[in-house]
Each structure stands twice: as structure tokens, then as C-alpha cells.
Structure 1
Amino acid sequence: MQKLLKIIALLLVITTVVFAAGCAEQSKENATEGAAKESVPVENGSDAVFRSADGEMPTYIVGTEAQFPPFEIVDSRGNVIGFDVDLMNAIAEDQGFKVEYLDQDFAGLIPALQTGNVDIIASGMTITDEREKEVDFSESYINAGLALAVLTGNENIKSVDDLQGKIVAVQTGSTGFLKAEELQKAGIIAEIKDFPHVNEAIEELKIGGADAMINDLPVTEAFIAAQPDVIKIVGEPLNSEDYGFAVRTGNTELLTKINAGLENVKASGKYDELLTKLPTYMEE
């Protein structure tokens, strides 16, 4: 009996040693695998970009609301295109990273960025003090203002002064929505109707559910270019706005890449080339 116990004890010792050795080897493999995934600098002209050790470039998910032409729109083949897309693609190429686009409602873009579902917002987003409390913005890449639009046959509304008691359509979460709220608090606008997408606000205008629409000037101009006999812009721009790309607060590495890429794209002449394409995105 005593001899049997010694044999069992010896077997337990052997099993423990083998198990420990296996764990150590597994840990070593995991550490090696983890090291292989780390980014390493790769020379790109005079600058260094970062790629994984296996040669793959990093990929960032770009959140956008693809019903905001000419900045974002879905073409007939189901691809997200537009000025913001082409500009971000040019920045990515310059800085040595890849991008994939995720289409969702505009109001959900900042929450998606904050939760890590997207890495960048490229969606005609105006840089505001309130938004800067939630995200970090790149340098401005375009200046735009807010426009007041009505149906082409409307001769009663010619400026903001004529909005007394009127119903105004806007996009949810947009600066147009904020402007409408400001006018409502001032006792001018009677009611605000907000919609997830700009085209829905225009439809509300077309069916008579709203008297006017407040929206970004270049986007409104793009709709007019596509459908010239539906709506028109009246009065002067309501303000001046700057669009920026957004990243999570504190993500200075990615923000630096975007700003550097934007500067290089402008210096190369590519930015001016994209500006000339603005009206063509509505033709896709």
C-alpha cells in the first residue's frame, strides 16, 4: 500500500511539471504572437508611417451619414462617395493607412466615436464649442454656412424676418437644428420638425408640412443643382461654419496623421481638384 502511494505521488509530480512547462511554452507563443501584431515604423518618403510587423497598414473605421450630398452620398452601385470620402481617402493614402466606411444616422456619429464603434467621423460635421467638449476636431477642411430654403413658388418668405409663426424643417443633431432652436426661443419660429436625413426635411417641405428649411449651404445648393425646380435659397447665409474630421478625445496620434495628411493634400493640389468635383457627386 505504501509503495502504491509513492507511485501515485511521483505521477502527480510528473504531471505538474509537464503542465507547467506547457503553460510556459504557451505564454511564450502568445508573447511572440503579440509582438508580431505591434506596429513598426516604415519609411514613406521623408516621413515615417506605422504598419503592423506583417506589412499590413492599419485600418480605421470612418463613420458617416451618407445622405448629405455632395459630401456623402450612396451611388447607384451602393458605394459611399462624396467630397469627404475622396478627401479622407487622399489623406489615408498620404499617411499610409486604410479606411472603411460605416453609414449611420448623423445624430449617432459622436456616440459611435465615443464607444469605439468608429475611429473617425467624416460627415460634413461643423466644428462647434459644444462638440469640441465631446470629440477632438482636425483643422478645418472647408467653410460653409447655413441657408434658408423654401419652395420655388414661395414669395412670402424672403429672409429669416419672414419666419414669424412658421414651421421649419431641419436635420436632427445638425447646426441647422440648433439655429432653428435659437429662432424658436426668440419667438420667431412656431414649430421645428427634425428628421434623420436632409432629403426627408426637403420632402416635408415639398408636401407642405413645413414652410421653410434650414440646412448647410453647399448641401442645399447640391440639391438645387439636382432638382432646380423644387426649392430655392432665400436671404443671406445665416452664419459661417467650418467642417472638420473628428476623432476620440485624446487620440492625438490619429489626429496628427489627419492634419498632416490634410496639409499635404492641399499642398499637392489634390484638394483643389476635389473642390472642382463638388457638383458632380449629385450626378452619380
Structure 2
Amino acid sequence: MKKSTLFITTICVLLVILSGCGDNSTHTSEKSNTENPTTVAVAVLNNYPPLIYKDQGQLSGMDYDILNAIAKHENLALEYKEMKFDGFFAALQARQADVAASGITITDERKEIVDFTDVYYESGLVLVTRNDSSIETFEDLKDKTIVATNGSTTHEMAKEVAAQYDAKSKALKETDTVYLDVENGYSDALIMNRPPLLYKMKVSGDNNKLKIVGENLTIDRYAYAVSKDKPELKEKLNSGLQKIKISGEYDEIVDKWLSE
């Protein structure tokens, strides 16, 4: 009788141990999926509001929020690398970054060296002058200087507009210095993407010194640039983008940053 009791007790103990092991295995698997995300190096600007910029020492903006929302859905750990725009594509080719994000426009030339995700926003370029400028039309640009950000589509457009209207163009490395160049009278006009320009004018309030001349010069499609040797990452970003659009997170983020 004692042997039977001991046998039954032993069996029960074993069942409890095995049951506990089974539970631990499941939790470990789920925990592992959360604790071991794929690390992704993201090249960004830190001075391009409202898309991405530093706010009290922390990155913020629409691109930042969209990428972080995608990362949560796709188990990605994003490591942001702040650099100048003209260094983005070299960083992707040199594998110093996996993704670049800061209102990047898709162009055929860029497609030759990097891949792009699905489009996440459509915008356009605009011509901008000081409020007190005599420039009211593109014809008024004759002999004037147009400034833009080096390495960007704004610089390419500045050169095109300058050639068409007998003006001069120049490029600066930092977006915020492009604004200052016109505000301080060193250049007569600038070319800028509409969202950051509207945001700057909005937050400047009564101190705004800039105005838009004419209509949009282009219709631009924003996407995230991805290293060509990271096709799986591109698919994850597209998958995450689709998920946040379906969930409504995408609309909430865009409304937060770009509502007029």
C-alpha cells in the first residue's frame, strides 16, 4: 500500500513538473519574440519639422511617429543616426544605415541606388520668398538667387527654375540655414517641400517672414529609402505601413502633424 501511494505521488509530481515546463516554454517563446527584435539603423535629419526634428533634445515628428508605429507591429528596434541629407544615400550604399527617412521623394535616379517602400505621403515643392519681397511671379526671379538644400530634390528644382527664369541657384547643407538665408536677405527665394514650410509658417505665428509664391511646382511622393540588400526589411516596412493604415494609427499621426 505504501508502495502504491509512493508511486502515485511520484507520478503526480512528475506531471506537475512537466506541466510547468510546458508553460515556461510557451512564455519563453513569446518573450523571445518581444525581446529579440530586428535592429534597424535609420538615417534621419534632426532639423526638418514637422517630419523629423529635435524637440528638447529628443527626436520627434511625423516620420518618427510613423516609423515607430511600424516598428511595434513588425518587431523592429530602430536606431536613429542623425546626419545631413546629402549623406543619406552614401550611408545606405556603404551599409552604415539600413533605412533613410526625412520626407524623401522617390525619383528614377535614386531608384538606381536604393529601394523604396510604398508611398506614405504625397506633397509638392513650392517657391518661397520674404513677406516683403517684390517677387510676386516666377518672371520676377530674373537676376535673383534661389537657395535650396544640397543633395535634395529642392536643389534640383532650384537649378531648373533658375535656368528657366534667368536666375542663380545655390545650395546649403542644412535646411534651417536655407530659411535663414532668405529671411536675412542673403538669397531672394528658396524652394521647399510644402509640409515643413507650412509648419514653419504656422509655428512662427506673427513672426513669420515668409510667403509662398504661386502653386505647387511638383507632386512628390514620399517613401522610405531602403538599402538594396535589405529586401526583407522593405517588405516588413510595407507590411507595417499597411497595418497602421488599417488600424487608423496612420491617419491619427498625419492629422497630428499636418492638419491645417
Q: TM-score, normalised by structure 2?
A: 0.83
Whether the 8 Å contact between 1:75 and 1:81 is mirrored in structure 2 is yes
Letter in 2 for 1:178: E
CA distance in 2, matches of 1:57, 1:193: 43
Could you list the structure 1 runs, at least 4 aligned residues long, displaced by more than 6 angstroms after superposition: none
CA distance in 1, matches of 2:162, 2:209: 26
Letter in 2 for 1:68: Y
Partner of 2:43: 63
Equivalent of 2:202 in 209, 225, 228: 225
CA distance in 2, matches of 1:258, 1:162: 44
Q: Does 1:72 align with 2:60?
A: no
User: Alpha-carbon deviation of 1:193?
Assistant: 2.2
Equivalent of 1:157 in 94, 110, 135: 135
CA distance in 1, matches of 2:222, 2:138: 23
Deviation track 1:74-120 (CA, whole Å, cap 9, x = no partner) reads 011x1111100000000010111110111100000110111111111
Whether the 8 Å contact between 1:147 and 1:238 is mirrored in structure 2 is yes
Partner of 2:10: none
Whether the 8 Å contact between 2:126 and 2:216 is mirrored in structure 1 is yes
Of structures 1 and 2, the one with the larger relative CO (CA 8 A, separation 6+) is 2
Q: Does 1:178 align with 2:156?
A: yes
Partner of 1:166: 144
Partner of 2:175: 198
Structure with more helix by fraction: 2
Q: How does 1:1-284 map to 2 (within 5 A)?
A: 55-76=35-56, 78-154=57-133, 156-186=134-164, 188-228=165-205, 229-278=208-257
CA distance in 2, matches of 1:137, 1:112: 15
User: Alpha-carbon deviation of 1:183?
Assistant: 2.2
**CA distance 1:185–1:234, change in 2 (3 Å):** closer
CA distance in 2, matches of 1:159, 1:170: 18
**CA distance 1:189–1:180, change in 2 (3 Å):** farther
CA distance in 2, matches of 1:204, 1:121: 26
Letter in 1 for 2:47: Q
Whether the 8 Å contact between 1:180 and 1:189 is mirrored in structure 2 is no
Q: TM-score, normalised by structure 1?
A: 0.77
Whether the 8 Å contact between 1:51 and 1:58 is mirrored in structure 2 is no
Whether the 8 Å contact between 2:98 and 2:230 is mirrored in structure 1 is no
CA distance in 2, matches of 1:264, 1:89: 13
User: Alpha-carbon deviation of 1:51?
Assistant: 5.1
Letter in 2 for 1:153: D
CA distance in 1, matches of 2:45, 2:63: 11
User: Alpha-carbon deviation of 1:159?
Assistant: 3.0
Q: Which runs of 5+ in 1 are unaligned?
A: 1-41, 45-49
CA distance in 2, matches of 1:190, 1:213: 12
Whether the 8 Å contact between 1:64 and 1:123 is mirrored in structure 2 is yes
Whether the 8 Å contact between 1:62 and 1:100 is mirrored in structure 2 is yes
Deviation track 1:28-58 (CA, whole Å, cap 9, x = no partner) reads xxxxxxxxxxxxxx789xxxxx959xx5112
Q: If you compute each CA radius of gyration, which structure gives the higher value, 1 or 2?
A: 1
- Higher deviation after alignment, 228-237 or 156-165: 156-165
User: Alpha-carbon deviation of 1:279?
Assistant: 5.0
